[in-house]
């Protein structure tokens, strides 16, 4: 009960801080993309700091985040991995569902960071538009983050990897850096309880451009899922097996 109460207080103050920091940085962010990055990274670091002493979650980044242009294909389990991956990269922008653009504060900053909005309900047209929007935004170099399963996936749940990641890998001709995580064990997809422990995102060795799409997707999925399973076990998660 004590941990649950701490979790509720943590979540409330986290969302109260969002408009305060967002509006505080707004004059700078309106005229400079650096201001938008500074605002988002300041907020994320504030959340990491409060998570540590309020609910006992320590955030840890492993591996080597890329400095240059790259496609980042990540496992997505909760809001926490978004902040951790974003903060670890110098110039990150996301492939994201278009509804997020309508969210107060977050939507405005997503636009300033040149995030790419996708209509998930129109698969073929969405992929075509996504590629066009990504190519249009390539004048602003950076690291493009895509969640290959398309949504948050709870620990232990299985969901296929979508073809959009493979299409972007072919189109961009950039290294793809897989990212594994265990954050959903401590900060779940749904619910208020936050569990103490070490939340990890791990940047894995890059997959160089030039592979056939099917081979690329197989390597991506096996590396991300295998490492995520190991990280979740490290955090105390026990996989449920049939039989």
Question: What proportions of the chain, in percent to the nearest 5, are helix, strand and coil?
Answer: 55, 15, 30
Structure tokens at 154: 């709870």
Closest CA to 157 of 188, 192, 115: 188
Average pLDDT over residues 175-190: 96
Check whether 230 has a pLDDT greater than 50.
Answer: yes
Per-residue confidence band for 239, with pLDDT thresholds at 50, 70 and 90: confident
Quote the CA–CA distance of 63 and 192 in Å, as a whole number.
Answer: 30
Average pLDDT over residues 199-204: 98
Domain segments of the chain: what residues?
A: 58-234
Per-residue confidence band for 86, with pLDDT thresholds at 50, 70 and 90: very high
Residues across the chain: 243
Closest CA to 90 of 134, 144, 142: 142
Closest CA to 144 of 101, 103, 179: 179
Q: Among the listed ranges 91-105, 166-180, 200-214, which one has the minimum average pLDDT value?
A: 91-105
129-160 pLDDT, tens digit each? 666 666 665 556 789 999 999 899 999 999 99
SS3 136: helix
Instruction: Output the pLDDT for position 243.
Output: 46
């Amino acid at each position: 009960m004590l941990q649950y109460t701490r979790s509720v207080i943590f979540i409330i103050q986290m969302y109260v801080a969002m408009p305060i920091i967002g509006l505080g940085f707004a004059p700078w962010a309106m005229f400079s993309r650096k201001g938008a990055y500074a605002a988002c990274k300041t907020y994320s670091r504030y959340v990491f700091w409060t998570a540590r002493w309020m609910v006992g979650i320590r955030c840890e980044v492993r591996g080597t985040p890329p400095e240059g242009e790259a496609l980042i294909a990540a496992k997505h389990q909760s809001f926490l991995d978004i902040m951790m991956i974003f903060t670890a990269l110098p110039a990150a922008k996301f492939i994201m569902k278009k509804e997020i653009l309508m969210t107060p504060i977050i939507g405005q900053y997503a636009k300033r960071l040149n995030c790419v909005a996708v209509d998930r309900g129109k698969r073929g047209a969405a992929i075509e538009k996504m590629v066009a929007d990504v190519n249009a935004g390539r004048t602003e170099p950076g690291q493009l983050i895509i969640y290959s399963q398309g949504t948050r996936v709870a620990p232990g749940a299985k969901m296929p990897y979508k073809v959009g990641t493979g299409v972007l890998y072919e189109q961009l001709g950039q290294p793809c850096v897989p990212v594994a995580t265990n954050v959903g064990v401590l900060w779940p997809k749904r619910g208020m309880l936050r569990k103490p422990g070490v939340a990890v995102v791990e940047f894995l060795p890059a997959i160089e451009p030039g592979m056939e799409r099917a081979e690329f997707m197989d390597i991506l999925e096996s590396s991300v899922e295998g490492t995520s399973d190991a990280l979740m076990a490290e955090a105390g998660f026990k996989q449920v097996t049939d039989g």
